[in-house]
Structure 1
Amino acid sequence: MFSTLQPHKKAMATELLSPLLPQRRRGLAVAAAAPLLLLLLVVVVFSRSRLTVSSPERVDLTLVAGAREKGAVCLDGSPPGYHLRRGFGSGAHNWLIYLQGGAWCNTTQSCSERKRSSLGSSKFMRALKFSGILSNDHLENPDFYNWNIVVVRYCDGASFAGDAEGEDLDGTKLFFRGLRIWEAVIDELMGKGMDIAQQALLTGCSAGSLAALLHCDNFRGRFPQEVAVKCLSDAGFFIDVKDLSGERSMRSLINGVVHLQNVREVLPKDCLQNKDPTECFFASELIKSISTPTFILNSDYDSWQIRNVLAPSGSYPQQAWSSCKADIRNCSSTQIDVLHGFKNKLVSEMKVAEDNKNWGLFIDSCFTHCQTPFHITWHSPISPRLGDKTIAETVGDWYFGRRQDVKQIDCEYPCNPTCSSRLPTA
């Protein structure tokens, strides 16, 4: 069941590009008003700021030196890789580390399938386009554009957390070495100048965002105390909730990952004293143990979780929910009530972050997943806004201390008019 999650994320994980949510037909009144709406949009675009950005820069892949000798390898045994764009000017000594996402593999079969793609082997990895929080364009990425920016490729299937070996269906080895990959990449970057960083930010998207939470305090510990080090979680707040059929499909998936790939070493020791390792792999438990200032960015109507956690295939009458999962605007009032329940559960599990004065929150009500790596959601005229601030502006305010208590939790869908129909939805 869960191996089907991998292709679903593959395009976004390898290219960092987003699809557009299809437009729904409108009535005659909206059609008649289209010219006026178009004029208003043009006015807004030019009045907010001239966010005409350059084409995304392509950054080549670097393979980790001596990775095989360290046992720090992808699922197929190939060396892991990353993309490094050097900083410049005032950002020359600042570092942003972005951990790529792409779901997980929880069985020998699903991991065997992954190793024949860039999510399991560097043999299939190519140059990446950097946009959003990765961009070197000041208009698109006002606070981090000139930092050293690194995208660490995801090829272990367990959020850079496992340390084990297995056997493929064809008799060859499967390497579950995410933890060693993390350590090898960070060690190599330290040797390339990150050891003298003045400021640093660890972030990621989806499964990479969960990895940022898992490794947040370890990352902090690699720098002198006077260095400003923080973490940013983007769409990594997966929750343990019953699906529409009453099963805990997400817990089942994570349980498989935790035991197949042996992720225990990275889990909080205080959590393991009282809970099962599977529970300790969820963000709601991880944030209770993180001491490093962290920002949680998430949609409380997370499109990937609604499609794969709340309403996975086979858990409901297919026709009843397929249209709703494709586009939240197609959901019935009854279905919207179910989604409101999901939102309430997610927000309640963020209580620790909400109460911590050094942490930040941007929880919008848009039907989307992963918002930092895309220009359209990170910082553009049609980006989601809370308190009239884009995600980029809010994260910057939090990181640099320009505002106090940077915590925004949106109202219920469809209350936010800045939730564009063109946002990426996983």
Structure 2
Amino acid sequence: MASLLVLITLCLVAVGIEGTHNVTISVLETAISRGAVCLDGTPPAYAYSPGFGEGVDNWHVFLEGGAWCGSTAGCLNRSGTSLGSSAKLISINNGIQSFSGMLDDNSTFNPDFYNWHVFKIFYCDGSSFMSDIEDVDPKDNLTYRGLRIYDAMMDELLRIGMGNARNGLANTLPTSCTSKFSPTLCFFPENLLQDIQTPMFLIESAFDQYQLSSNVYPTNAKPPRWVNCTLDLQTFCNWTEIEIMRDFRYTFIDTLKRTITDSSSRRGYFVHSCYRHGHLEDPQGSTCSSLVGNVLADKTIPQAMGDWYYDRSGFQEMDMVNNLPRNCSTAVDEATFRKKCGT
């Protein structure tokens, strides 16, 4: 895998033990002329931290996630937040993005990837960088142009130096998939993964917090008990809700096993049982996962991924022991946690 030196994460605070790696958020003004704008019409934004040393030719491209807006009302609501407006994003974050976890530039916390270029593309189109509708919604003044944002950002990446990377990007949706399914279905992993030839490493929880809290029940039919349960598993969940979560885990693992038929070292995965969503930007979910008990085959998430990526060893592990969601977080403040993480 060491030959593929562009790492794309869909869907991952560095310097001293108590410091943070703050990066200025940049607005891509040139995207406006291409119609590549957020839901509210503002230009898209990104945060970029240059690589250095031996990592100067390696790139970590992070496409931020954040679900979809499934209705005009939902998209209108999102357009007033950082997930639909770069103006709101900059205002809320004071123009600064902190890179942490596997985006960290500190070799103590992130030894395999600390010196890579990091390019985070903020998500503001509500459709996972897939929409391309020319007309602006006349009633609510909404713009659906995620695919144009993606294209504009790829050009910006090439402009600032990713053209020197040892490998470039494959097509988002392979024709081998779209020839069998509609493009919409090819966006879902169970249909797409078999057609991806690029080496791939999967990091996921069998009890994904967002999926369980948001997608198990339709929004308009979500029982109040379920909402309370997903907010506090120990206090509010009864065995009925726990069984639903177990069924979710079984379906997820069964689907994954059927999907990843290629058992070669080109496919790696770390599937755990922690009740969480997201990994790369959070030390508790990545670089310091050992401190919260998230270890498989005696390896943390970045150790497993680093060994796989640099061909030190393959890694294909699922937690098949724990069939209940686990609490893999600590209540200590960030500074205290990072002190423990660095020891």
TM-score range, shorter chain: 0.7 to 0.9
- Separation of aligned partners in 1, 2:295 and 2:119: 27
Retained in 2: the 8 A contact 1:109–1:169? Answer: no
Matched residue, 2:253: 347
- Separation of aligned partners in 1, 2:16 and 2:295: 19
Matched residue, 1:92: 56
1:23-72 superposed Cα distances (whole Å, 9 cap, x missing partner): xxxxxxxxxxxxxxxxxxxxxxxxxxxx9823221111122242111221
Matched residue, 1:282: 188
Query: Post-superposition shift, 1:422?
Result: 5.3
2:154 maps to amino acid: I
Matched residue, 2:231: 326
Matched residue, 2:271: 363
2:129 counterpart of 1:160: yes
> SS of the counterpart of 1:287?
helix
- Separation of aligned partners in 2, 1:70 and 1:403: 44
2:195 maps to amino acid: S
Matched residue, 1:407: 316
- Separation of aligned partners in 2, 1:412 and 1:311: 26
- Separation of aligned partners in 1, 2:58 and 2:50: 10
Aligned partner (choices 151, 169, 180) of residue 148 of structure 2: 180
Return 5+ residue gaps in structure 1 as ranges.
Answer: 1-15, 18-50, 201-215, 219-265
> SS of the counterpart of 1:191?
helix
Retained in 1: the 8 A contact 2:79–2:85? Answer: yes
- Separation of aligned partners in 1, 2:318 and 2:331: 21
- Separation of aligned partners in 2, 1:147 and 1:102: 24
Q: Alignment identity in percent? A: 36
> SS of the counterpart of 1:151?
strand
1:151/1:171 CA distance change after superposition, 3 Å:
closer
2:287 counterpart of 1:379: yes
- Separation of aligned partners in 2, 1:400 and 1:295: 12
- Separation of aligned partners in 1, 2:77 and 2:325: 40
Query: Post-superposition shift, 1:403?
Result: 0.5
Q: Give the aligned length.
A: 310
Aligned partner (choices 217, 232, 254) of residue 170 of structure 2: 217
Single out whichever of 324-333 and 185-194 deviates more from structure 2.
Answer: 324-333
Retained in 2: the 8 A contact 1:99–1:154? Answer: yes
TM-score (normalised: structure 2): 0.82
Aligned partner (choices 47, 56, 59) of residue 83 of structure 1: 47
Q: How does 1:102-181 map to 2 (within 5 A)?
A: 102-126=66-90, 127-168=96-137, 170-172=139-141, 174-181=142-149
1:307-354 superposed Cα distances (whole Å, 9 cap, x missing partner): 1111455435423x2332123334333332221211111112223335
Query: Post-superposition shift, 1:294?
Result: 0.9
Retained in 2: the 8 A contact 1:95–1:148? Answer: yes
1:103/1:316 CA distance change after superposition, 3 Å:
closer
- Separation of aligned partners in 2, 1:387 and 1:52: 29
Query: Post-superposition shift, 1:188?
Result: 1.3
1:284/1:422 CA distance change after superposition, 3 Å:
farther
Matched residue, 1:419: 328
1:91-132 superposed Cα distances (whole Å, 9 cap, x missing partner): 122111111111111222211222222211211223111100
- Separation of aligned partners in 2, 1:137 and 1:379: 11
> SS of the counterpart of 1:295?
strand
> SS of the counterpart of 2:39?
coil
Matched residue, 1:194: 162
Matched residue, 2:341: none
Retained in 2: the 8 A contact 1:95–1:199? Answer: no
- Separation of aligned partners in 2, 1:130 and 1:146: 13
- Separation of aligned partners in 1, 2:251 and 2:316: 18
Query: Post-superposition shift, 1:412?
Result: 4.5
Return 5+ residue gaps in structure 2 as ranges.
Answer: 1-11, 91-95, 333-343
> SS of the counterpart of 1:139?
coil
Retained in 2: the 8 A contact 1:71–1:180? Answer: yes
- Separation of aligned partners in 1, 2:126 and 2:231: 26
> SS of the counterpart of 1:175?
coil
1:284/1:113 CA distance change after superposition, 3 Å:
same
> SS of the counterpart of 1:161?
coil
- Separation of aligned partners in 1, 2:29 and 2:272: 41
TM-score (normalised: structure 1): 0.67
Query: Post-superposition shift, 1:195?
Result: 0.7
- Separation of aligned partners in 2, 1:143 and 1:340: 34
1:98/1:122 CA distance change after superposition, 3 Å:
same
Query: Post-superposition shift, 1:279?
Result: 2.9
- Separation of aligned partners in 2, 1:315 and 1:416: 23
Aligned partner (choices 278, 301, 310) of residue 391 of structure 1: 301
1:313/1:71 CA distance change after superposition, 3 Å:
closer
1:318/1:85 CA distance change after superposition, 3 Å:
same
Retained in 2: the 8 A contact 1:54–1:137? Answer: no
- Separation of aligned partners in 2, 1:135 and 1:87: 11
Q: CA RMSD in A?
A: 2.7
Retained in 1: the 8 A contact 2:133–2:143? Answer: yes
Matched residue, 1:7: none
1:413/1:378 CA distance change after superposition, 3 Å:
same
1:415/1:162 CA distance change after superposition, 3 Å:
closer
